[in-house]
Chain A
């Protein structure tokens, strides 16, 4: 009983503790704010598709469409997308051993096993991709069936590389890269660096990067580290004393 009472008293004491705040003349501080948003997506694959008989000018085929759906709210990291591929031998069989070849086409292109049948991007809206499955009229009657495997993978978007020149030197960057990103990347093999929103180069003396054809009186004379590097564009290093 005594111990329980002591415990209760301790809890009450802790709950009532307070700290006195003094107003400072000048104070500052920083707080790091961060949060994590996990990528999410839902891709719906119908469990079955039954080919229907189609007769056209005496020619019989068995066909149907098949729709893959990315539910509304696909959210991936920037630069990522969802790729759906299909694995199949493209042959239906019956219990009696009859076989029937079929094809899968996406956007009018015949798909090979492992081929891509759909791609989805980050989007708040629902996305769909429809493929077409078709077979000729077989020799034998029967219940034909095949099982295919769809693989859904998150992929990085392919990178497009651009060229640009600084003086007589040619450099490369990824399309859409800013100077600040380029400086931090492996593409910067020229020793460029950034400070105060400008781009510099130095080998014992200071050079600042400028847009070719501009003059110091132009607002865009100096390259800004936040600028996107333009493809097939000339840039120029200017001695800082001249800039």
Chain B
């Protein structure tokens, strides 16, 4: 009984105790500053070009990055697709082969670019023999440039 009474008294005493809260003099907090910048780029590709008769090399303009704000681990890829043949407008079986080359004379298939100002000069090459073997008439072809955003 004594022990029970002592226990009850102890519990009552503890229950009535209080603590005072003081305002701390110094405290810290963190905040995040963020901004999200989406990738943007502008690439120009060669326009239509007219190849003069018997010209073995004709400038085909340039692929050029006009503006670029891309992720550091990404690049802009430009691929060229062409069947390499100018077709006669009357008879499609009559063709003049051609090649598109870069400024170093290598056949151009694709290239990657990173920043504004990156460019590749292109030219159209037709051999003298192919000119000599060509039938009269108008010839044309369409090349396709595909621009994509790729990992480096």
Query: Which among B20, B31, B71 is the interface contact of A150 at CB below 8 angstroms?
Result: B31
Contact A100 B35 (CB under 8 A): yes
Query: Which among A7, A40, A140, A146 is the interface contact of B33 at CB below 8 angstroms?
Result: A146
Interface-forming stretch among A14-22, A41-49, A201-209?
A41-49
Contact A141 B38 (CB under 8 A): yes
8 contacts between A and B (CB under 8 A): A38-B22, A94-B71, A137-B69, A140-B70, A141-B39, A144-B35, A149-B29, A151-B27
Query: Which among A38, A39, A140, A154 is the interface contact of B71 at CB below 8 angstroms?
Result: A140
| A96 contacts chain B at the CB level, 8 A cutoff | yes
Q: Residues of B at under 8 Å CB distance from A?
A: 1, 5, 20-23, 25-40, 69-73, 115
Q: Inter-chain contact count A-B, CB under 8 Å?
A: 111
Nearest opposing residue in chain A for B116, CB measure: A139
Most buried by A among B26, B34, B37: B37
Given contacts A140-B71, A141-B37, are A47 and B31 in contact (CB under 8 A)?
yes
User: In the complex, which residues 153-175 of chain A have their Cβ closer than 8 Å to any Cβ of chain B?
Assistant: 153-154
| A147 contacts chain B at the CB level, 8 A cutoff | yes
B55 → A minimal CB distance (Å): 41
Contact A141 B69 (CB under 8 A): yes
Which residues on A sit within 8 Å (CB–CB) of B35? 50-52, 62, 92, 100, 135, 144
Contact A138 B32 (CB under 8 A): no
Which residues on B sit within 8 Å (CB–CB) of A152? 26-29
Alpha-carbon distance between A4 and B8 when the two chains are bound, in angstroms: 14
